[in-house]
Structure 1
């Protein structure tokens, strides 16, 4: 089945964010501060008019590189039955394309520990020590410098 990458609204991310990133928690836990900011970009992978993967980019400085225009990658999620089909890779490529459009210097994220290698394969570098986010788990701060 063909998958299309396109811009989404914040609300369109929730049917994927909820079950993948916040299972069993209230809907509000999948709504992020900054979701509705005019500089925030939401991107989705869609198959047969169903959103199967999502990612959001929020204009947020990275403390270690405060002088650069940075966007934080948040809420990256793919429905379980769609994993392993290149959707995550396609979403990351769409993030880079979106950041080129806004002339950003870097993308950064707090990657869950089990996906650090996925981000490394896409060129992201770890920075600092791993850390724990309450109710979510172990994370690693990572970034990608843009050309």
Structure 2
């Protein structure tokens, strides 16, 4: 498998975001505020010219670290047939590199409960109590300070 992680457009994220994160919902539910901001970074894992995993990084302050240049990781998704093959880890590594290049200090996310262990294994730390997002489920706020 030859994998390339590269910059993609906001529109390109929808082919993975919608079926994985918003199954059965209207396409508009997979469009996020901030997708079109010039500071937003969209990355895709591409295999044989097909985008199989995506993630977006939006320059968004983290309330607990307001003095830091923070990027919120959003919409991370991998097509089901590609899950469990390390693409998520590679995307997280590319996120760290991308935020480092734009002089960011911290990456944070609202991780779905079932992937908290995945983020912990990548060095992310939990902050605050778990919380519920209507129509999405239980989440935990997590962050990764960059060196």
The TM-score, its normalising length taken from structure 1, stands at 0.99
Gaps of 5+ in 1: none
Q: How many residues align?
A: 147
Task: After TM superposition, give the deviation of residue 26 of structure 1 in Å.
Answer: 0.3
Task: After TM superposition, give the deviation of residue 3 of structure 1 in Å.
Answer: 1.1
The question of 1:57 aligning with 2:57 is answered yes
* Equivalent residue, structure 2, for 1:48: 48
Q: Mapping of 1:17-96 within 5 angstroms?
A: 17-96=17-96
Q: Displaced runs of 4+ in structure 1, greater than 3 A?
A: none
Cα distance in 2 between the residues matched to 1:60 and 1:99: 12
Q: Per the alignment, in what secondary structure is the counterpart of residue 55 of structure 2? A: strand
* Equivalent residue, structure 2, for 1:138: 138
Cα distance in 2 between the residues matched to 1:118 and 1:144: 13
Q: Per the alignment, in what secondary structure is the counterpart of residue 58 of structure 1? A: strand
Gaps of 5+ in 2: none
Cα distance in 2 between the residues matched to 1:66 and 1:52: 34
RMSD: 0.4
Cα distance in 2 between the residues matched to 1:27 and 1:84: 26
